[in-house]
Amino acid sequence: MDESEIRRAAELLRAGDLVAFPTETVYGLGADATNDTAVARIFAAKGRPSFNPLITHYAERAAAQRQVRFTPLAERLAERFWPGSLTLVLPRRRDSEVSLLCSAGLDSLGVRVPRHPLALALLRALDRPLAGPSANPSGRVSPTTAEHVREGLGDRVALVLDGGPCPVGLESTVLDLTGERPLLLRPGAVTRAELEAIAGPLGAPGEGPLKSPGLLASHYAPSLPIRLEASDVATDEALLAFGPNPPPGAARTLNLSPAGDLVEAAAHLFAYLRALDRPGLKGIAVMPIPTAGLGEAINDRLRRAAAPRGQALPIAGQPS
Ligand code: TXA
Ligand code: MG
């Protein structure tokens, strides 16, 4: 790890600039979360509807606890899953230094301690909450390499810290702990079963009041139309395959996991969607993916990629 690169990244962030950084899930578009102007730059760079709240990142739980009020359940979940791919939505402290823009008008804040060594090194050097949505233009597939970030955001970011491909490849699970019952706002890298083992049955966002208005089904959309549950494929289609026996005949095939392994499939999902999303084809056919474990989050992202553009959200989970 390049210490001077980390120091430079932290200096840029302190000066209010944007720095993209790797996490174990996807690359984040980082800004000093205590600086309103810097946070506003995130929305501008992503072209994101400003009512969608941002996750804030910390080097350790104690730092997150200075910004939000933990419940006993939040403590148990943090104990088990941090550092890692779980975002907890908790009530903001009255004296929180985090920009209200990160909460997008809600009285809650999303907090997470990531596991990636570069992210942790950056957070320690910065020593402030780091706002970090996925580092893609709004509505596009999340970046899992530094190259993806440069393609999507180019010179809108001062620096891209390159940590190689993200090992998990799917965004964090977002769990809302502000109500009576924990709500799964976005299925993600930590599975429902893992959470329910500690938290009991999870509610879905539809069951409570709508917590975040920025819900568009067509987030994560590639340019080509997506056809789900494909058992055959046309010669003018690309095929996103899964498992040992993909149908033959596609213009181009990428297999998420020939062995049928959901962890491997998650790690490849966004990079393969991008690679297949090239002009000249009719669309991308996607083979059925099992819904167990990480399959819930994978199928959620694929449904969004397939949804008509701009449609309101009919299913659990949150975009962007
Ligand atoms: O894996 C990840 O979570 C990545 C890495 C960079 O940490 N970040 C990420 O952030 O995916 P973003 O902003 O693209 O997605 C955050 C999701 C959004 O759907 C947002 O609406 C939801 O979390 N969220 C954040 N804070 C929230 C809050 N206070 N209340 C409700 N939803 C919130
Ligand atoms: Mg995102």
Q: What is the mean pLDDT of each run of 10 residues along the chain (320 residues)?
A: 93 98 98 92 81 92 98 98 98 94 88 98 98 93 96 96 97 95 95 97 70 50 93 98 97 97 90 92 97 90 83 43
Q: What H or E segment, with its residue span, contains residue 173?
A: strand 173-176
Q: Nearest C-alpha to atom 31 of ligand 1 is from which residue?
A: 212
Helix (H) / strand (E) containing 269? helix 262-276
One-letter amino acid at 177 equals L
By most ligand atoms within 8 Å of CB, the mutation choice from 51, 174, 176, 300 for ligand 1 is: 174
CB atoms within 10 A of CB 2: 12
Q: What is the pLDDT of residue 316?
A: 40
Ligand at minimal distance from the CA of 141 is 2
- pTM (two decimals): 0.86
% of the chain surpassing 90 pLDDT: 76
Tens digits of per-residue pLDDT, 185-223?
999 999 999 999 999 999 887 655 444 434 445 556 788
Q: Can you give the pLDDT at residue 314?
A: 42
Q: What is the number of the ligand 1 atom nearest to the C-alpha of 29?
A: 6
Ligand 1, residues at Cβ distance < 6 Å: 23, 25-26, 28, 52-55, 87, 89, 103, 106, 108-110, 112, 132-134, 171-172, 174, 185-186, 211-212, 214, 318-320
pLDDT computed for residue 213 by the predictor: 39
Give long-range contacts, CB 8 A cutoff, 24+ apart: 35-38: 35/99, 36/99, 36/100, 36/101, 38/13, 38/131
Q: Output the CA 102–ligand 1 centroid distance in Å.
A: 10
* Two structure tokens written together for 195: 């959470």
Ligand 2 centroid – CA 97 distance (Å): 23
Question: Two tokens at 199?
Answer: 């938290």
What's the 114 CA to ligand 2 centre distance in angstroms?
15
Nearest residue by C-alpha to atom 12 in ligand 1: 133
Ligand 1 atom 6, closest CA: 28
- Ligand (nearest to CA of 106): 1
Tokens of 259: 């062995």
pLDDT at 2: 85
H runs (alpha helix) in 278-318: 295-306
If you classify domain 226-306 with CATH, what class do you get?
alpha beta
**How many of the other CB atoms lie within 10 Å of CB of 258?**
13
- What HEC string does 188-243 produce? CCCCHHHHHHHHCCCECHHHCCCCCCCCECCCCCCCCCEECCCCCCCCCEEEEECC
Ligand 1 atom with minimal separation from the 136 CA? 14
Sequence-separated (6 or more) residues with CB below 8 Å from residue 62: none
28 DSSP β-pair partners: 21, 134
The CATH superfamily assigned to 3-199 is DHBP synthase (3.90.870.10)
In this chain, the answer to whether the domains covering 3-199 and 226-306 adopt an identical fold is: no
CA 208 / ligand 2 centre spacing (Å): 23
Domain ranges of the chain: 3-199, 226-306
- How far, in Å, is the centroid of ligand 1 from the Cα of 275? 25
Q: Which ligand is nearest to the CA of 26?
A: 1
